[in-house]
Amino acid sequence: MTVDAQLADLGSRAAPRQGRRLRAFLHNPTFIAGAVILGFFVFLALFADWICPGDPQDMVAQPVLWPGQDMQFPLGTDSLGRDVLSNLVYGARASLLVGVSAASIGLAIGMVVGALAGYFGGRVDALLMRLVELFQTTPTFLLVVVIVAIREPSLSTIALAIGLASWPTVARLMRAQFRSLREADFVMAARSLGYSSTRIIVQEILPNALPPVIVAASVMIANAILTEAGLSFLNMRDANVVSWGGMIGDGRDLLRTAWFLTALPGAAIAMAVLSLNLVGDGLNDILNPRNEP
């Protein structure tokens, strides 16, 4: 935290909590940098049709134009004469879509399992943690490959498979939160008022247990994007959808002569994942003040 941020923080002690949070976000350079890059990719994903009209899989020019060779196609064309720029823009859509849906599925399962295990403890906890351990022992990527092999590789199957393989981390996190919060005074108070377990879990503990889960969510989206890229690279992908990993897989055949076909989509993946990791690091600084130097 910079001196300015600390002063701002001091000055706003009396201000409502919400205002201080917002200021903390604005004064965290890591978070801002991540959010700006991420915002750029979200913009590409949302307005792909408007930025690059037409089907990105159409052949538009002669194959393997290098970037800058023809200004109509500033990033060149691939071995089938498809516009690399337009493919990169549409690829943002597939990556973010799979990333966000896989992370949502993983978060949903992990939060339910972790909350139940942490809140009830005892046998429920022992049983659920066995399940967590089981999934943590199985190599995630192999499990995803197996699940995708059971069904046809479509975007929804891939998202589902990644979600099913990635929930254990969240479950562990939620469990730890619930274990420490279930003895807190406000939970005792809620219990003595005769609130039901469901109400205590959802309305009392959950909102207080969320901060580390929010940090984990951004890292989960990042990991899901990396996993999806690996799958697409191995050709386990939806043939009708342009994806960055798939572009790398296609470009690999021309690695010796036209390496830009591999380099560009990989750089796009790295930037998107980097932005999510930056957002995660920033959120961690803001939401867990203990970690501040």
Partner 1 sequence: MGRRIAATLRRTALHAGPTVLGIIVLDFLLLQLMPGDAADVIASESGVATAETMAALRHQFGLDQTVLTQLLNFLGHLARLDLGYSPRYNMPVLDLILQRLPGTLLLMTTALSLALVIGIALGSVMAAWAGKWPDRILSVVVLLLYSMPGFWVGLMAVVLFSVKLGWLPSDSNMTIGANLSGWSMIVDRARHLVLPALALASFFVAVYARLVRTSMLEVQRQDFMRTAQAKGLHPFLIQLRHALRNALIPVTTVAGMHLGNLLGGAVVVETLFGWPGMGRLALEAVLARDFSVLLGVLLLSSLLVILANMLIDLLHAWLDPRVAA
Does the footprint of partner 1 cover residue 140 (CB under 8 A)? yes
Question: CA-to-CA distance for 245 and 252, rounded, in angstroms?
Answer: 11
Question: CA-to-CA distance for 248 and 262, rounded, in angstroms?
Answer: 5
Cβ 92 vs Cβ 276: under 8 Å: no
Does the footprint of partner 1 cover residue 79 (CB under 8 A)? no
Residue type, 285: D
CA distances from 36 to 40, 59, 152, 276 (A): 6, 33, 36, 10
Does the footprint of partner 1 cover residue 143 (CB under 8 A)? yes
Does the footprint of partner 1 cover residue 139 (CB under 8 A)? yes
Does the footprint of partner 1 cover residue 133 (CB under 8 A)? yes
Stretch that binds partner 1, among 82-90, 128-136, 190-198, 210-218 (CB under 8 A): 128-136
Among 13, 123, 256, 290, binds partner 1 (CB under 8 A): 256
Question: CA-to-CA distance for 13 and 32, rounded, in angstroms?
Answer: 23
Site string for partner 1, 203-222 (x = CB under 8 A): -------------------x
Does the footprint of partner 1 cover residue 136 (CB under 8 A)? yes
Q: Which is nearer to partner 1, 187 or 248 (CB)?
A: 248
Phi-psi map region of 81: left, alpha, beta (phi>0 left; psi -120 to 50 alpha): left
Does the footprint of partner 1 cover residue 226 (CB under 8 A)? yes
Stretch that binds partner 1, among 18-26, 47-55, 113-121, 231-239 (CB under 8 A): 231-239
Question: CA-to-CA distance for 272 and 92, rounded, in angstroms?
Answer: 8
Q: Which is nearer to partner 1, 54 or 139 (CB)?
A: 139
Q: Which is nearer to partner 1, 51 or 274 (CB)?
A: 274
Among 46, 68, 252, 253, binds partner 1 (CB under 8 A): 252
Question: CA-to-CA distance for 20 and 29, rounded, in angstroms?
Answer: 16
Site string for partner 1, 3-42 (x = CB under 8 A): ----------------------------------------
CB of 149 to partner 1, least distance (A): 5
- If DSSP codes are grouped into helix, strand and coil, which group holds residue 278? helix
**DSSP calls for 201-247:** IIIIIHHHHHHHHHHHHHHHHHHHHHHHHHHHHTT-S-TTS--HHHH
Other Cβ atoms within 10 Å of 191 Cβ, number: 14
Among 130, 183, 198, 290, binds partner 1 (CB under 8 A): 130
Binding site for partner 1 (CB under 8 A): 130-131, 133-134, 136-147, 149-150, 222, 226, 229-230, 233-234, 236, 245, 248, 252, 255-256, 259, 262-263, 266, 269-271, 273-274, 277-278, 281, 293
